[in-house]
């Protein structure tokens, strides 16, 4: 018993205190946050939406009437851009395939991916 107590005291005295090293948090730079909105002020222009990592990027776009929005699927699985109100549907796009929609009237168009309904985004069309 004395031997155990002596060993404990010896190891405690022999142990050196080392101050904890500072911890730094990595800087988070989310591509989704940086590109969560896009807009086009030119009537008849084209805006690109990328489908990547099961997300529409940008998630919200604001365009003018007459703008064409092109959806390009970068994922290895099929995705669609399908309006919640049924006003447009690209159909299921394979990897690197694109589908385009030209918006002819003003309004807010929520859309989703048919195979993955948790993927949601919005197109706002202004006069």
Per-residue pLDDT of the chain (127 residues; tens, 9 = 90+): 454 445 555 555 554 444 443 433 333 333 333 345 565 555 569 999 999 999 999 999 999 999 999 999 999 999 999 999 999 999 999 999 999 999 999 999 999 999 999 999 999 999 9
How far is it, in rounded angstroms, from Cα 9 to Cα 72? Answer: 68
Which has the closest alpha carbon to 68: 31, 91, 98?
Answer: 98
Q: Which residue, among 41, 67, 49, 68, has the nearest Cα to 120 in the 3D structure?
A: 49
Q: What fold does the segment set 35-126 form as a domain?
A: Immunoglobulin-like (2.60.40)
Q: Which of 71, 49, 76, 63 is nearest to 103 (CA)?
A: 63
The pTM of this model reads 0.69
Contacts of 85 (CB under 8 A, 6+ apart): 109, 110
């Amino acid at each position: 018993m004395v031997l155990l107590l002596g060993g404990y005291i010896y190891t405690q005295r022999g142990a050196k205190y080392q101050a904890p090293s500072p911890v730094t948090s990595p800087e988070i730079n989310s591509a989704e946050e940086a590109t969560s909105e896009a807009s086009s002020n030119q009537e008849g222009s084209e805006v690109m939406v990328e489908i990547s990592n099961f997300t529409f990027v940008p998630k919200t776009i604001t365009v003018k009437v007459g703008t064409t929005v092109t959806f390009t699927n970068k994922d290895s699985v099929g995705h669609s851009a399908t309006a919640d109100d049924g006003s447009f549907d690209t159909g299921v796009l394979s990897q690197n395939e694109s589908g385009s929609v030209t918006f002819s009237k003003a309004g807010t168009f929520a859309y989703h991916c048919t195979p993955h309904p948790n993927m949601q985004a919005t197109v706002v069309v202004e006069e």
